[in-house]
Amino acid sequence: MSANTNPDPDNGAPAFIPLEANPELMTTLIHKLGVSPALAVHDVYSLTDPDMLSFIPRPALALLLVFPVSAVYESHRMAEDNTADEYRGAGEQEPVIWWKQTIRNACGMMGLLHAVSNGPARNLIEQGSTMDKLLKESTPLPPRERSALLEKTPAIATAHKEAASAGDTAAPDAQDDVDLHYVCFVKGSDGALWELDGRRKGPIRRGELEENEDMLSPKALSLGILKFLEREGGDLRFSAVALAGSLD
């Protein structure tokens, strides 16, 4: 199924067709944007079964969670955001690069951008590609200007539309309301676990990781996705995909 929720209304903001949580489509999309074929997106069938996790190449450089936006989640998000300042970071010194989502139904693309732009994955973006140019232009900018740049990068919109239109299920309209959302977990240049979500006030530092711990290590899972799912209770309408080495 597709996955998305929307940012606060913004007059004139563009809209994307919601992106299906399909690893094959996501892999094609990131390669089209300029990520090396050495990386791919993989289904995560279990977060706790070692045998199932063993099918995913390690290290896992990013983890994307797709989940229903529940009243419990919204309450937690608003309570946490109410105690946070609006993020104003910019420049190479940031431990992670983060974009605020201003494009309707674009949280799948936002999750992928966050996944490939942070940690070791950033070093596997091909010079001169769409992703390389976006990163180089975005990094010096504060969040509002980054979002404006993203809105005005036609190569991103074109690649997203092609991927979103090629899913296994009929693609919703770009203006539809969809109750599923993407959140990305990555390891920052400071070695910490970060939660990246364009709907939030900024990137959220969730805790310290050891040098040998990736996004599927027990500590990363306990600080990130498992804590998230524990809070959500019995709703099983979630899925997860990981950015890791290609199996080819």
| Residue of 31, 42, 107, 160 with catalytic role | 107
pLDDT at 210 over 60: yes
The Cα 181–Cα 197 span in angstroms is 9
Q: What is the mean pLDDT of residues 216-223?
A: 94
pLDDT of residue 174: 41
pLDDT band at residue 72, thresholds of 50, 70 and 90? confident
Per-residue pLDDT tens digits for 147-173: 999 999 999 989 888 887 775 554 444
Q: What is the mean pLDDT of residues 45-69?
A: 91
Query: Would you state the torsion angle of the CA atoms of residues 188, 191, 197, 200, taken in this order, to the nearest 10 degrees?
Result: -110
pLDDT of residue 1: 37
- Active-site residue flag, 42: no
Residue 24 · residue 8 · CB < 8 Å: no
Q: What is the mean pLDDT of residues 98-113?
A: 90
Residue 195 · residue 206 · CB < 8 Å: yes
Terminal alpha carbon distance of the chain: 26
| Residue of 42, 114, 181, 184 with catalytic role | 181
pLDDT at 116 over 60: yes
Q: What is the mean pLDDT of residues 39-62?
A: 94
- Active-site residue flag, 107: yes
Instruction: Locate 174 and state its tokens.
Output: 């770009």
pLDDT band at residue 20, thresholds of 50, 70 and 90? confident
pLDDT of residue 13: 67
pLDDT at 15 over 70: yes
- Look up residue 232 and give its amino acid: E
The Cα 138–Cα 225 span in angstroms is 28
How many residues comprise the chain? 248
pLDDT band at residue 237, thresholds of 50, 70 and 90? confident
pLDDT of residue 233: 67
Q: What is the mean pLDDT of residues 184-211?
A: 95
Q: What is the mean pLDDT of residues 34-62?
A: 95
Residue 71, helix vs strand vs coil: helix
The Cα 95–Cα 118 span in angstroms is 8
Q: What is the mean pLDDT of residues 183-194?
A: 96
